[in-house]
Structure 1
Amino acid sequence: MKLTRPLIVLTSQIIPLVITLLTCRVSLAAAAAHGTNGMVASVNPIATQAGVNVLKSGGNAIDAAVAVALTLGVVDGDNSGIGGGCFMLIYRTNGTIVAIDGREMAPAAASRDMFIRNGKADTELSQMGALASGVPGALAAYDYAETKYGRKKLKELLLPAADIAERGFKLDEHYAARLRGSAKYLGRFESSKAVFFKPDGQVLGEGDLLKQPDLATSYRSIAGQGVDWFYHGAFGEAVENWMQRNGGIMTAKDLANYRIVLRDAIQSPYHQFNVVSFPPPSSGGVHVTEILNILEHFDLKSMDEATRLHVIAEAMKLAFADRAFWLGDPDFVKVPVGLVDKKYAADLAGKIDLKRVTMVETHGTPDDWQNNLFKKHTTHFSVADAEGNWVACTATVNTGFGSKVVIPGTGVIMNNEMDDFSTQPGATNFFGLVGAKANAVAPGKRPLSSMSPTIVLKNGKPIVALGAAGGPTIISQVALELVCMLDLGMPPEVAIAQPRIHHQWYPAQLSVEKSLPQKVQKALEAMGHRLEVKQTIGVSQIVARNQDGDGFVGVADPRVSGKAQGW
């Protein structure tokens, strides 16, 4: 689906930073990296370096993105890996856009009520253990991207990551904290304890060396035998054996039947820009677009900070109400294209009161919703090269360490994406999201996702690639950063550091980062917002063109120890 019109304004004409700082405060310091030949931004310095090494050795942005992904599966395995899924958005030098859906699929034996016990959804079953995992799709997506659009062989990208897994890496404070927080649940599975715990039974901590020899062997097996080892061979057999012993339903045949899907990216104008984002089963692209379409009816730059954030929050609320009802896998349910229609957004914008919170009782109904349809814990990284290839990729195993299960002998952490289905109408998932029958469990269906890899075009050429991690806050992070860059003229390092807000309709509260000034918080409360103050909200990565259009700038979220690096 394409919603396009001519672009007539140069987006590199950025408003001077001094003006920007008058309209929106900087709460954190985000260091910008610069480069003329390419740029990589990810949540981990080791993974970023892997991507830069590939660029320097003659690879393009697709090669580098796959190298980053595979390395993150080693050094950031609590967030992503080959036991999970991804959405990969690619802009190629010839101007074509590719959207690769590597989202997990429900096993063939899955059923609508598989998580219902005594008439109520049992969230532990959908979040942990043998029933929690969907069939992983990330590796299939990386293999497709590499084979079709890369210059190197998948083997060349796997082996350096395998070496890191074998020799180990020291845990930083962030990884150690996440591991500590999941230790109680990881400890329930012997194969997981073998990876993440010391011989004395204590979980690994900051500064400890995490070695993953089984994962290294798995990577080398894929390098030698291709992805068939994973989808048609030993890995599938290992999964089925473990599942049978532990009450799971996934089989080797489920792995063999996995397929990536090529989707039509959503393209929608926003002011003088063209925003390219991921279609369903991502709710991210739909609702980032819906939020921006609503906000286009307001002069955000002229507003004081509290009013601007109030309007953005109200737009988020309207979009998330639609998400709860309409969104699901378009191969199974009707997802209206009208959700990203400009006229529909204008109607929604008319419901926003600039001074007070408006109650949103239920979802909206876009025109021709019956017929005009989309075709049938997490990490984000962005990569660009000098030839004109850009990649925005968001990958995940869902919550930290996914299902908490490492398949014995493989080192692969399995996802818990089944929790992203609506396990029961009205029931909330780990992130507090509610859903309806559009996102109900069904065999072979892909669960709804908030992942929002996004590329912004100027005159048909990419100027920004961004995305985020953090469940439903991904959508709000991307929307906020786009507003900061495209409406307020902020450079990426300033945009990414702004205090964040998030409203997902249910529960009826506005989450704000602690760094948001007290004066602004009080003003939002006076408008009727019920605030939930959080230390931080989400993690983002941005790669963009320099203001002069020559070379790149990259920023990693200052809330964690990521890294952007160019050359």
Structure 2
Amino acid sequence: MGELQAFAALPLSDLAAPAIHLADEGFPFYQHMHDKIVAHLDSLNISDASAEIYLNEARTGPKFEVGETFTNPHLADTMRELAGKGWQWYYSHLADEIIDAANSAVEPHTGRHGLLQKSDFEHYKAVRRNAVRKQLRNDLEYVGMSFPSSGGTSLAMMLKMWNVFPSSADDLGSVLEGSNDKNWTFEEARRMVDVQNTVWADRQKYMGDADFVDVPEGLLDDEYIAERRKEWVACLDAEGCSPSPTRGSEIPVPFGTPPGVEVSTTFVDRGSDRMSTTHFSIADREGNFLSMTTTIEENFGTGVTVPGRGFLLNNELTDFSFRPYPSGTGPAHAYPNAPSGERKRRRTAVGEDANTIGGKRPMSSMSPSLIFSNNEPIAAFGRVRYVSCLVCTRIITLPCFGYTYPHQEDISRSTIIFGVVLPCLICFLLNLPSC
């Protein structure tokens, strides 16, 4: 809401009106939502308020049949109050309701309940940080999200490692075994997954909340990226860096050693894959560009809905490493993305947030991005889904540089997933509802 006060030309009541209308009037219940509810019956049954919105009376399946109208009037009422009463109401009255909902919910397998406190709201603040910026070629610059999201740094590495940008997109053919055209193929898609796996290894080894861990600046060094690219090309000669029928499903991709980092042989955190993420990009008539990604982490988050409010609580803390350090070691060998109870100076924050005190934040892969040409914005993009959002976003950038793929005219409604799960799954899908 602070961003709205600083930059919006319209009041929140106007901006929220379409969402309020949609929650009141509803939309056709669709197959994908039906299937997700069926897959998450256990978590939605944790909360009576969630069951009221999503489940049938017996709580054995979805409340609505496909094609019926799904509504959420409680959410509409909450947005009306928020628009009318502002952020003070959120941090006072609504915060108390959120705390009650979180702490009264009981996880059925462990019997544990929430531990949320009013001080958590008082201490947490959305802070401003400088964006990740990487020159791709003389006239093009990538701008992305900085830590604690790994998306900006990871995507900048991928863009440079793909090696289209030093001259032009036409050079892509020489990279892809002499291809003379720039049309999208499955083999090229698989090789893009190889690029992601190479970057993913560095992500898991080095990246985390930069207020708490020293993320090597050398990850974006041109010479280092060129060296990692050589390693990726070497993988191509060994059937790729990704899983294949002849190499099995657990193919580790080695991490690199960027400038300023001592050679290490320690373990790499493998991460996980979940999805309940939304992205939108906007360009207005004044020339402003916005790229925004938001998430509640897993499908339906915690499964807990605030009674009478219509919204779910996130389980974003599971973005931390599930194991804080490798088996057989201790805290001294903690992963960069391990949880921590410490509070430290926000050394990466800027403006009025600089050098304030805060807790460690989990690392995501969200990658809201902008491309600038000669210092003017030309594209805003991003994508949903945890690890695959990096490659999905990478693909969406290709038309900016003269590279095409089948059904490019359907990009607004198509899905291209190049997912890596632990990393052992590759998908190539077109024309699905969401990534």
Q: Into which bin does the TM-score normalised by the smaller protein fall?
A: 0.7 to 0.9
Secondary structure, aligned partner of 1:512: coil
Q: Comparing 146-155 with 214-223, which one deviates more in the overlay? A: 214-223
RMSD value over aligned CA atoms?
2.9
Residue 422 in structure 1 maps to residue 321 in structure 2: yes
Equivalents in 1 of 2:25, 2:417: separation in Å? 38
User: For the structure 1 residues 203 and 498, does the alpha-carbon distance in structure 2 shift closer, same or farther, using more than 3 Å as the test?
Assistant: closer
Equivalents in 2 of 1:167, 1:403: separation in Å? 26
User: For the structure 1 residues 487 and 313, does the alpha-carbon distance in structure 2 shift closer, same or farther, using more than 3 Å as the test?
Assistant: farther
Equivalents in 2 of 1:498, 1:241: separation in Å? 39
Which runs of at least 4 in structure 1 moved beyond 6 Å after TM superposition? Answer: none
Residue 238 in structure 1 maps to residue 102 in structure 2: no
Residue 400 in structure 1 maps to residue 299 in structure 2: yes
Residue 279 in structure 1 maps to residue 279 in structure 2: no
- Structure 2 residue aligned with 1:473, among 365, 388, 393? 388
What residue in structure 2 maps to residue 203 of structure 1? 62
- Structure 1 residue aligned with 2:86, among 226, 248, 252? 226
Secondary structure, aligned partner of 2:293: strand
What residue in structure 2 maps to residue 341 of structure 1? 221
| Unmatched tracts of structure 2, length 5 or more | 106-112, 166-170, 180-184, 242-250, 263-275, 327-332, 342-358
What residue in structure 2 maps to residue 101 of structure 1? none
Asked if the contact 1:301/1:487 (under 8 Å) is kept, the reply is: no
Asked if the contact 2:415/2:433 (under 8 Å) is kept, the reply is: no
What residue in structure 2 maps to residue 106 of structure 1? none
- Structure 1 residue aligned with 2:409, among 482, 490, 493? 493
TM-score, scaled relative to structure 1: 0.59
**Structure 2 matches for 1:256-275, cutoff 5 A?**
256-271=122-137, 272-275=139-142
Asked if the contact 2:102/2:114 (under 8 Å) is kept, the reply is: yes
Equivalents in 2 of 1:489, 1:283: separation in Å? 27
Residue 459 in structure 1 maps to residue 332 in structure 2: no
Q: Which amino acid aligns with 1:330?
A: A
CA-CA distance at 1:499 after TM superposition: 5.3
Equivalents in 1 of 2:287, 2:361: separation in Å? 31
CA-CA distance at 1:402 after TM superposition: 0.9
CA-CA distance at 1:311 after TM superposition: 4.0
Secondary structure, aligned partner of 1:469: coil
Secondary structure, aligned partner of 2:102: helix
What residue in structure 1 maps to residue 284 of structure 2? 385
Higher strand share: 1
Residue 560 in structure 1 maps to residue 427 in structure 2: no
User: For the structure 1 residues 161 and 307, does the alpha-carbon distance in structure 2 shift closer, same or farther, using more than 3 Å as the test?
Assistant: closer
CA-CA distance at 1:160 after TM superposition: 3.9
CA-CA distance at 1:436 after TM superposition: 5.6
TM-score, scaled relative to structure 2: 0.76
What residue in structure 1 maps to residue 345 of structure 2? none
CA-CA distance at 1:369 after TM superposition: 4.6
Equivalents in 1 of 2:95, 2:410: separation in Å? 45
Residue 147 in structure 1 maps to residue 5 in structure 2: yes
Equivalents in 1 of 2:320, 2:373: separation in Å? 36
Equivalents in 1 of 2:83, 2:394: separation in Å? 38
What residue in structure 2 maps to residue 174 of structure 1? 32
Secondary structure, aligned partner of 1:263: coil
User: For the structure 1 residues 324 and 344, does the alpha-carbon distance in structure 2 shift closer, same or farther, using more than 3 Å as the test?
Assistant: same
| Unmatched tracts of structure 1, length 5 or more | 1-142, 371-376, 428-434, 514-534, 537-557, 563-567
Equivalents in 1 of 2:70, 2:427: separation in Å? 34
- Structure with more relative contact order (C-alpha pairs < 8 Å, separation 6 or more): 1
Equivalents in 1 of 2:44, 2:278: separation in Å? 20
User: For the structure 1 residues 146 and 405, does the alpha-carbon distance in structure 2 shift closer, same or farther, using more than 3 Å as the test?
Assistant: same
CA-CA distance at 1:426 after TM superposition: 6.6
- Structure 1 residue aligned with 2:173, among 301, 310, 313? 301
What residue in structure 2 maps to residue 368 of structure 1? 260
Q: Which amino acid aligns with 2:45?
A: G
CA-CA distance at 1:267 after TM superposition: 1.4
CA-CA distance at 1:386 after TM superposition: 1.6
Secondary structure, aligned partner of 2:14: helix
Secondary structure, aligned partner of 1:493: helix
What residue in structure 2 maps to residue 40 of structure 1? none
